[in-house]
Amino acid sequence: MKITWLGHSAFRLDIAKAAILIDPFLTGNPSFEGQDAKEVAKGVTHILLTHGHGDHVGDTISLAKETGATVLANADLAAWLGSKGVEKLEMGNTGGTIAFDGFTATFTNALHSSAMLTEDGVNHSLGNPNGLMLHFDDEPSLLHMGDTDIFSDMALIDELHKPDIGIVPIGDRFTMGGAVAALACLRYFNFSTVIPCHYGTFPIIDQTPDKFVEGMAGSKTKVETPKPGGVVEV
């Protein structure tokens, strides 16, 4: 599996049968500057969304129209995207699993919010925030936690799904900070590899992964901290 961090919480996953974008916040993402949006979108088959905030929905509408990719989101967010012209939609909700060619996606819990204030001044409630648990035919399993704080039922996610790879928000203020994120990984999961995200994008969140890396020191889990645009292969 080839995992490309696009900055913030946006990732591209390349597997044998699919090219997946998660939370494709490209336009307006300072961490994405200097990367090639056309290259990022090349061959994309699926777009998966953790929740309805603008820095996660990002370029979903335009990318879906340009690529013909199938978009997976919670039911409320999917319905809203449909009203904006997205045609190929799959909807689910917390606990539900959706099967695609080559992988399945399960919506897990997250402690956050999910809404969007649109240009007409209307605030739209867009369902519950989630994480996304991905199981692949021939690749390690992966959990993108979405935006969340620590919570003890993370232990159930690990018991049910046993994710090999964790994508973990660490930026503080809007999610758990690095030290707490490290505690979550060490207490509730048995990841072989973790990739921190949701940091360094805006001045009001943590700018480096240092607190997370320090918190993970001495563990058997491999911590990967690529630069935006960087690739992790597992």
The pLDDT of residue 176 is: 98
Structure tokens given for 141: 């399993």
State the Cα–Cα distance between residues 136 and 130, nearest whole angstrom.
19
Backbone angles phi, psi at 213, to 5 degrees: -60, -40
- Using alpha carbons, select from 104, 108, 82 the residue that is nearest to residue 95: 108
Letter string b/e over residues 128-155, b meaning 16 or more CB atoms within 10 A of that residue's CB: bbbbbbbbbeebeebbbbbbbebeeebe
Helix (H) or strand (E) holding 158: helix 154-161
Can you identify the CATH homologous superfamily of domain 2-233? Ribonuclease Z/Hydroxyacylglutathione hydrolase-like (3.60.15.10)
Q: How confident is the model at residue 119 (pLDDT cuts 50, 70, 90)?
A: confident
SS (H, E, C) 28-71: CCHHHCCCCHHHHHCCCCEEECCCCCHHHHCCHHHHHHHHCCEE
DSSP string, 4-35: EEEETTEEEEE-SS-EEEES---TT-GGGTTS
Structure tokens given for 113: 């919010």
Task: For the chain, give the percent of residues with pLDDT over 70.
Answer: 100
Residue 217 has pLDDT above 90, yes or no: yes
The pLDDT of residue 65 is: 97
CB 50 within 8 A of CB 144: yes
Enter the pTM of the model: 0.98
pLDDT of 147-205, one tens digit each? 999 999 999 999 999 999 999 999 999 999 999 999 999 999 999 999 999 999 999 99
pLDDT of 16-73, one tens digit each? 999 999 999 999 999 999 999 999 999 999 999 999 999 999 999 999 999 999 999 9
